[in-house]
Structure 1
Amino acid sequence: MSRWKGLPGELDPRVRQLVVALRRVKDRSGLSLRRLAARTGYSTSSWERYLSGRALPPREAVEAIARLGDDDPARLLALHEVAAEVWGRSPDGAPAPRPPAVAGEAVPEGEDPGTPSGAGEVPRADPSRSRGRVPRATLVAGAVALVAAVAAAVLLAARLSDGEETAAAPPLTGTSAAVTAPGTAGEPDRPVYTCRSERIDGRWYAGNSRTMKAILAKGHAGPEVAEAQCLLREAGLAPGVVDGIFGPHTERAVRGLQKRSGLVVDGIIGPHTWKALRE
């Protein structure tokens, strides 16, 4: 096994962990720096810097040395990802200078250190590493699109289910006191809701919606909210004006119903609160 020189004292512990792991893999491979450079496509001087903590190796170099050392690439890539986040930064998060280059540092004894690397050195490409690889961004984008499609399908199924429930419910008959939303000249198309409460098959309906599943919370609006407001009035609570807008008065009335019915008091109307409203 090669005898390695010490790493720079100012090196971040997370970078140090990656470098130590790469040194062990290199030792297990039994390759000299020259042979390692020939097998990976990265120059000898590049590997000198990678294995001495003076430069952060690219992901491709980490994968290449993992294959040669018969190691798990995922483990080394995880260490590389952590090291990349802190590379070139001091412990307090401010930019820090890279460790100084020291002649012969991190070069195993008996090996030719190779030609020093220049500022414009570009690693040689290894065609075998690029074949069949899918860009990371493509995988992430595909996963996001799949999640969005599943969520849209679930929402559509829920809406269709609610619509079928509405069609199957018995027609409402009978009348009760009508409560209308105050209209203004600037809102000619604002909906006007009425409460026509009637008990059918052991449940209360107010003529605006027959849902038992709609999730309503403060800020929502529509006929389902008006239905809940009518039923809250029927239950002896005060949701304010029946205008189909879930405001603070409606939320306070919902909390009162939930507390009275032994439900979770969160001010949100869900299936359990609907059941309490229609009982």
Structure 2
Amino acid sequence: MSRWNELPEGLDPRVRQLVVRLRRLKDHSGLSLRQLAAKTGYSSSSWERYLGGRSLPPREAVEAMARIGGDDPTRLLVLHEVAAEAWGTRRGTAAPETEVTVARVRLLARRLRVLRRPLPLRRRPVRIAVLAGTATAVLAVFSALMIVTVGDGETRAAPHGSSSASRSAPTYTCRVERIDGHWYAGNSRTLDAILTNGMAGPKVAEAQCLLRRAGAAPGDVDGIYGPLTERAVERVQQRAGLVVDGIMGPHTWEALRG
């Protein structure tokens, strides 16, 4: 087990959570920094900065560490996304959600292969119409993605005092019932959604209802993934022998669904 130095004071808790997780994976792998560099393609000095909390590791490095340590890459990448947001905010750089949004729109444009295929002259009027329609669709998708959507039906909770927060919030109820050997509360039937602190929506409300049923009180069932919900998830994970990270994932859903 490595004797790690203390992380820098003032390091955002979201970044700290990612770094601690990466340190555990390195310890579990039993690799030295030099061996880790050989297996991932990132230098020893780079890993020293990443694991010391002095530099944010790139997404690819996090994925490589997940493979080496036998961890769920999806779960680790969620931590990385949250940490990247905190890191970017602290340094005054562009918000990762904006970068992800642009990347998604570009990917959509690349997938619209009709934009790249040359067409015979007689079909060019049709192509112009397709291009116009495609441009409209891409702009619509871009506008939709610029809303702080971070998952399938889940959004970042708006800060208190914002215009979004002042609108009437949706109300959720817990109608817990046993269906085909699984517990459901009537808000979502997901079995694998990734939820983390700051997210909101019916899937969060579903998790809160199931947490309450499991005896791990998450506070109000308001559909907002806050500190109380995170701590309730950690209690369930500890009780079920799972990795205790406060993130709802497939294994935690399985524990709650029964």
The TM-score with structure 2 as length reference comes to 0.38
The TM-score with structure 1 as length reference comes to 0.35
Identify, as 1 or 2, the structure richer in helix. Answer: 2
Answer with 1 or 2: which has the greater Rg: 1
